[in-house]
Amino acid sequence: MKETSIEWADSTINFFMGCTKVSEGCKNCYMYRLMPRFGKDPFKLNRMNFDNIEKNLTKWSPRTIFVNSMSDTFHEDISINDIWTMFRIMGFHQKHTFIVLTKRITRARLLVWANDISIPDNVWLGTSVESQKYVSRIDELKQIKAKTKFVSFEPLLGKIYYDLTGINWAIVGGESDPNPRIIQHEWIDSIYHKCKELGIPFFFKQYGGSKKCNCHNAWGCRVYRGQLWDELPIKKVIAN
């Protein structure tokens, strides 16, 4: 069932492919390396076949799915109608859990409020925060009505001070790239301790780097504090 190397998902679906950079965390995004291999311009947004996606979702067994791993669900060039349709499709396929991660959380908040877009309970909505400079994204996320809200601190580029009350999950990871920006252990510790204090599930994805480890085939290794941290929010299980 696991069709992706992303540690916290079983599969990916892409309603759109291609994106544009909005902050420092985007600098070495894997999408810009992968798209040219398919003969695609990574800076050009391409709409995929929604009907084919629905067919896959129907035939697949229940799984956790990362949505738009090669784009951003709330990219400014994606229409309100397409965003509404994506959430309608996800809400219809209740047997799956969908993970939606965006750096454009301000647009997400405004569209949800203005267009009455509801976030289905089987959709986990999150935002990326790479440094203290972007903690305001967490404020925006907290204002959206969603059952499960999470923050991805990846690539983590500095120490972050922030109250995570109201957040249901935290992912932490370093950058994987031929020339990665190196994560510091104390940056991870800061988020880890806050999660333990508040009872927030903590998922450590990787230290990052240019090489994979032998123990878990992860970039820079996944072992933190002597163990793996694969904590997840509790999700409702729906029969196939």
Q: Residue 239: what pLDDT? A: 46
Assign 131 to helix, strand or coil. coil
Report helix, strand or coil for 155: coil
Instruction: Dump pLDDT digits (tens) for 88-128.
Output: 999 999 999 999 999 999 999 999 988 878 899 999 999 99
Least confidently predicted of 11-25, 98-112, 210-224: 210-224
Fold annotation for 11-206: pyruvate-formate lyase- activating enzyme (3.80.30)
In the numeric block, the tokens 């196939």 are attached to: 240
pLDDT at 158 over 80: yes
CB 86 within 8 A of CB 15: yes
Structure tokens at 56: 């896959």
- High-pLDDT (> 90) share of the chain, %: 86
Question: pTM of the prediction?
Answer: 0.95
- Residue that has been written with the tokens 């909005």 in this structure: 22
Token pair for residue 107? 């647009």
Q: What pLDDT does residue 118 have?
A: 85
**Are 203 and 229 spatial neighbours (Cβ–Cβ below 8 Å)?**
yes
pLDDT confidence of residue 5: 86
Q: Which two tokens stand for residue 72?
A: 């951003």
Structure tokens of 223? 């072992």
Mention every residue, 6+ apart, whose C-beta is less than 8 A from residue 96: 57, 60, 62, 63, 64, 65, 90, 122
Closest-CA residue to 141 (of 173, 115, 163): 163
> Could you tell me what percentage of the chain is helix, strand and coil, using 3-state DSSP and rounding each to the nearest 5?
30, 20, 50
Residue range 175-195: average pLDDT?
95
